[in-house]
Amino acid sequence: MTETENRSEGPAAFRSGFISIVGKPNVGKSTLLNHLLGEKIAPVSKKPQTTREVIHGIRTDETSQIIFIDTPGMHKPKDALGELMVQEIKRTLGEADIIYFVVEPQPKDEESERFLGLLKDFRGSVFLLINKVDELEDKSRMLPVIDHYQRLFEFKEFVPISALRKIALDTLLEVTRKYLPVHPPYFPADMISDRPIRDIVKELIREKVVRFTGEEIPYVTAVSVEEMSERDDGLIEIHANIFVDKESQKGILIGKGGTKIKQIGQAARQDLERFLGGHVYLDLRVKVLPGWKNDPSRLKDFGYSS
Ligand SMILES: Nc1nc2c(ncn2[C@@H]2O[C@H](COP(=O)(O)OP(=O)(O)OP(=O)(O)O)[C@@H](O)[C@H]2O)c(=O)[nH]1
Ligand SMILES: [Mg+2]
């Protein structure tokens, strides 16, 4: 936070700030980021722990610039990669002006509540976002949820939303602007993320691996983009590797007669074409790299070191 926020600069003063989106896995943080930006930059799936890396999305209009920080779901780490993810979440809390603590509309959720402790030293404003309200048939069931969380933490705002159905996202933005510091924009107005395009490409490919494979595979894969270039005819050529832990996992990922990897490649290409705004040629290879999740130098190669 800056000194400028205390100065009175009138209603027209530009506001800008950082918002960290946190919560347990699978509550809809990345869906929210994508829909607030109107562009898909963060991976989304039905499976928990889809997001592995912090992604910044930037939304700029005439009066404000908001930098949303999507984080991996808060969880108890089981390996070196998990540790790094939790460290990353904690680091983003230090950068934020506002925290969106995202939960599902349940009156009791011990997994979420456990993480409220992490927020107690935070000096900015914390909002409780109750997501997936489209799943509630009886809207009055939201009241006990609000009541419950109110007793646990001093939230500044309670905002029921549906990230997926885009319900109340305008309200959320309106409320958020009131809490943003008066500050000039941090980034150029046309910038949508401060992450290199290659990183977003990598995450969009990994999302398809998560989506098209069973429970076990998503947690043992990493993706690296080896080469990305635009050919003279405008075609964007991308060569990427998908790493797995064991030979048997490689077989699952490739599928009978290569059907699975073909499915992953086609779906990834569609997303990448939308994101990059052009035709894409995507070459995917599967490689075996035992124990990469606990190997510090490999984690670094894949961009997971802090
Ligand atoms: N019904 C409903 N489903 C939603 C909503 N928002 C997200 N989802 C679904 O919830 C699942 C998880 O969404 P994500 O955005 O990947 O969740 P996340 O919190 O980023 O998950 P991690 O990255 O694993 O921590 C997906 O299947 C989404 O489609 C919502 O408002 N309503
Ligand atoms: Mg996510």
Which pTM value belongs to this model?
0.87
CB 180 within 8 A of CB 16: yes
Q: How many CA atoms lie within 13 A of 109 on its CB side?
A: 20
Instruction: Report which secondary-structure segment, H or E, holds 264.
Output: helix 259-276
pLDDT for the residue 6:
47
What pLDDT, in 10s, does the model give residues 57-95? 999 999 999 999 999 888 888 888 888 888 888 888 888
Q: Give residues whose Cβ lies within 5 Å of ion ligand 2.
A: 29-30, 50-51
Taking residues 271-276, what's their average pLDDT? 94
Q: Cα separation of 240 and 207, whole Å?
A: 14
Q: Which CATH class is domain 197-301?
A: alpha beta
105 close to ligand 1 (CB < 6 Angstrom): no
Domain boundaries, the chain: 3-179, 197-301
206 close to ligand 1 (CB < 6 Angstrom): no
26 close to ligand 1 (CB < 6 Angstrom): yes
What pLDDT, in 10s, does the model give residues 16-26? 999 999 999 99
Q: Cα separation of 36 and 78, whole Å?
A: 31
Ligand nearest to the CA of 130: 1
User: 258 alpha carbon to ligand 2 midpoint, in Å?
Assistant: 28
What pLDDT, in 10s, does the model give residues 219-241? 889 999 999 999 999 999 999 99
pLDDT for the residue 3:
45
| Superfamily (CATH) of domain 3-179 | P-loop containing nucleotide triphosphate hydrolases (3.40.50.300)
30 close to ligand 1 (CB < 6 Angstrom): yes
**pLDDT category of residue 272 using cuts at 50, 70 and 90:** very high
